[in-house]
Structure 1
Amino acid sequence: MAAHRFNRLLKQARFSKRSGSPVSDVVYLLLLWVWLKADSIAMFSRESLQSFSITKRDALYDLLNREDLDWRKLHLQTAKTVISMTDHSTIRAYVVDDSVKTRRGKTMPGISSHFDHLNGRCVMGQQILTLGLATEKQFIPLDSELYISRVKSQPLTKAFADGRSIAAKRYRDAQSMTKPEMVHGMIKRADRSGIHAQYFLADSWFASKSMLAFMEAQSLVSIVRMKKNKMSYRVAGSDKVLSTAAELYQHHIKGQWQKVKGRPYQSKAITVELNLAQTLDAPDHWIKVKLLFVRGVNEEKQRAGKHDWALFLSTDTHLSDERILEIYALRWGIEVYFKEAKQKLGFLKEQSTHYSAYIASIHLTALRFCLLLLTQHEEGAARLSYSRNDMINSLCTLDFASRLWVIFRALISGALDELSKLYGVSVAQEIMNQIDKTVQEFFMQVMQMDTFTLRLEAKSIGDEY
């Protein structure tokens, strides 16, 4: 993304500097450090920071720990910009999922016990709920929220400086809001910002009646994986008989499987009615839904076990079986995002005990992913990993060049010591100063952080410097 465009996004999100370094420089450094193979900001500061900026380490932590910065707004506006520049797909779906980052530090605020779906057990850590936009082309993270459970939650080690700040409010929300309420808020913010979708995709952990009712109110078609639980459905034409998914399977699906064209699956669908009323005293709210039973088929034996079936629900009963599966498959993008975030994008790697830093980290991770999407688009790369590896190589090369200059400078300084004996110390020092200035200007231009470029960018967006 062009630097002037990102500076404009920072201004829209009301990011302002509080130290000597421009806020754009500090955010830029916080974005790139994970690609220099440093295990932490502290290590990056010791080994590579001076290769890219004169900014000090304290400025990085100061920005991370600030309570007043609206990282969510910067994230959402950046995602919107990337979508407008790279994606004109006709199919767009909101996708929601959560992920757990195992953490054990006793001084880390907001750590609590969460059930990890991957390991099948409860772990201490941080749970992050993420909303993204999935299209036929790509997945773009739109928003993220930390969720603190009520089990074994660790309190703040230090009170917020301002209880009315953005960070303080989000901490209270993390403690008090349910995950469905968080999803509702994220979708409303995305919609208000102009990022629209036709579908809502989620796994069975988010396929509740309250979620389906909210999506219906938002005019979104829900395509979700359902649990084989006691949720009851009404077959069309039967006013009183309610059946669970397992009962529907026994009476309407078993023995009637049909091959899904071009896929190693068999399926069978049935249109039923579902009452979205969430309490016994609430008025009935029946809607028609399509239940799609799917099972995998062993291509050699062409057989599947009697319990080896999955259940999908679509609130659009006119979608074909194949179309439901095709659209739901777009949900896989969020799984790829979580894997990339944890392994390559510094997901909650910032070493800080300030809750504000955790908020900054989850949004910085998404910003890095958006940056890679844009780079992939501009370079025409076939895969996101190619763009990421190219960026790592470029940054590491620049870092190496900067370190190599330190060695060369020592050699040149030694040669000038000999010249000082012939022409005087002042002349030799002037030569060294001019060399330093030229090299520094080179590195600043490479990073597009020289005064001329910054002023030109400011002029193009009407900023005052």
Structure 2
Amino acid sequence: MLTKKSSFVHLSQAMKNRFSELNVGKHLRNAGITKKLGITCLSIFQLLFLLVFEHRNWYQARLSKQAVDLPGKDVIYRFLKVPTFNWRKFLSSLSFEVIQRFQKLTSSKRVSVFILDDSVYSRNRSKNVELLSRIHDHVTHKFVKGFSLLTLGWSDGFSFVPVDFGLLSSANQTNRFCEMDASIDKRTSGFKRRRESIQSKPNVAALLIQNALDNGLIADYVLMDTWFTHAPLIESITEKGLFVIGMVKQMKQRYCSNDKLLKLEDLYKLIKPTLQKRDVLGSIQVCLQTENQTPVKIVFVRNRNKKSEWLAILSTDTTLSDEEIVRIYGIVTAKLKWFLRNFDE
């Protein structure tokens, strides 16, 4: 019976080769994802992995013709609920191996980046999910039930590898519909994940980057959108030895230029752009209002969606040319929109 149950996953030969080549079973064991008896964790993981490519969920799989060969639903649910399984370590170690294989195929001069992105993970039909909360969707400008999904990825401009993620609840207890399970052992990875979920988004973003560096991942820059490009997070990332490139929003944030604190629109007036037909209008070097007075370069570019307006891109690497800053931020992020959207889903 156990032999039959262990063969319920029918992976193609190509997928079997990739699982073997990437040592998926080894990464599962190193992350503490093991079982003493019954169906192996690798077999269960392969089943869940296969469901994604078949565009089915577990309920639909149980209604299919192959249901007689599938394990019981309790096997799957217990596997997903074990708080001692360190899924973060598994993803990080697997990503590290994939990235190493990519780097063997590319030039050492190619720029590599970490990309921070956040989206809303909606669970409007849920009622009893741990730490389910009321989240504001900045795209639709509405509140939904669910979580904020913070994603960290690695890219060389052509390939994208998900490195880490954080599923965040609301830090305000009044916005949470359910609290965490009090019976979970506080020493487990599951409890640490739950405790992390009620921290602020910038703190978790810095934590994801630090975890990636601790696991041996290396990148030249960290790319961010306007939500993350603020002085405290920028300073935290630069202290880790990484450069930041991010879009800057016109807000109350001030920048130090010639001992004066100026807003973005004031800095734009200082560059006095003369070639109005160019996409890159000009740049200026200023300092952030931080403890270390971090020097940054702000490049102003034309908004292609509305040519009468401009956008600002900030870089802590002041040695880069204006065009190179725009190239790294624009080309790389444009290629990864599809990857980020599908990883969020």
Q: TM-score, normalised by structure 1?
A: 0.64
Residue of structure 1 aligned with 2:64, choices 21, 42, 47: 47
The CA deviation string for residues 125-158 of structure 1, in whole angstroms up to 9 with x for no partner, is: 1111111112122111100111111252122475
- Contact 2:157 / 2:335 at 8 angstroms: preserved in 1? no
Give the match for residue 181 of structure 1: 203
- Contact 1:100 / 1:116 at 8 angstroms: preserved in 2? yes
Give the match for residue 207 of structure 1: 229
The CA deviation string for residues 396-433 of structure 1, in whole angstroms up to 9 with x for no partner, is: xxxxxxxxxxxxxxxxxxxxxxxxxxxxxxxxxxxxxx
Kindly indicate whether residue 75 of structure 2 is the aligned counterpart of residue 72 of structure 1. Answer: no
- Contact 1:160 / 1:168 at 8 angstroms: preserved in 2? no
Secondary structure of the residue that 2:312 maps to in structure 1? strand
| Inter-CA distance 49–258: structure 2 relative to 1 (3 Å threshold) | farther
Secondary structure of the residue that 2:175 maps to in structure 1? coil
Q: Comparing both chains, which one has the higher relative contact order based on Cα–Cα distances under 8 Å and sequence gaps of 6 or more?
A: 1
Query: Partners in 2 of 1:227 and 1:29 — Cα distance?
Result: 44
Query: Partners in 1 of 2:186 and 2:66 — Cα distance?
Result: 33
| Inter-CA distance 163–317: structure 2 relative to 1 (3 Å threshold) | closer
Kindly indicate whether residue 248 of structure 2 is the aligned counterpart of residue 226 of structure 1. Answer: yes
1:267-286 mapped onto 2 (5 Å cutoff): 267-277=281-291, 285-286=292-293
Secondary structure of the residue that 1:130 maps to in structure 2? strand
For the aligned residue pairs, the C-alpha RMSD in angstroms reads: 2.2
Give the match for residue 149 of structure 2: 128
Percent of aligned positions that are identical: 27
Shift of 1:55: 2.8
1:47-446 mapped onto 2 (5 Å cutoff): 47=64, 49-50=66-67, 54-88=70-104, 89=106, 90-104=110-124, 105-149=126-170, 150=172, 152-156=175-179, 158-175=181-198, 177-235=199-257, 238-239=258-259, 241-253=260-272, 255-257=273-275, 259-260=277-278, 265-277=279-291, 285-296=292-303, 304-305=307-308, 308-329=309-330, 330-341=332-343, 347=345
Shift of 1:82: 1.2
Query: Partners in 1 of 2:65 and 2:277 — Cα distance?
Result: 57
The CA deviation string for residues 262-315 of structure 1, in whole angstroms up to 9 with x for no partner, is: xxx2421111222213xxxxxxx22321111111358xxxx932xx11111111
Q: Counterpart of 1:35 in structure 2: which amino acid?
A: F
- Contact 1:266 / 1:296 at 8 angstroms: preserved in 2? no
- Contact 1:212 / 1:276 at 8 angstroms: preserved in 2? no
Secondary structure of the residue that 1:2 maps to in structure 2? helix
Give the match for residue 43 of structure 2: 25
Give the structure with the higher percent strand: 2
> Structure 2: which 5+ runs fail to align?
1-17
Shift of 1:49: 4.7
Q: Counterpart of 2:72 in structure 1: which amino acid?
A: K
| Inter-CA distance 197–62: structure 2 relative to 1 (3 Å threshold) | same
Q: Counterpart of 1:14 in structure 2: which amino acid?
A: G
Of stretches 102-111 and 312-321 in structure 1, the one that deviates more from structure 2 is 102-111
Query: Partners in 1 of 2:246 and 2:180 — Cα distance?
Result: 40
Query: Partners in 2 of 1:56 and 1:266 — Cα distance?
Result: 59
Shift of 1:170: 1.2
Q: Counterpart of 2:141 in structure 1: which amino acid?
A: G
Secondary structure of the residue that 1:340 maps to in structure 2? helix
In the alignment of these two chains, the number of paired residues is 319
Q: TM-score, normalised by structure 2?
A: 0.85
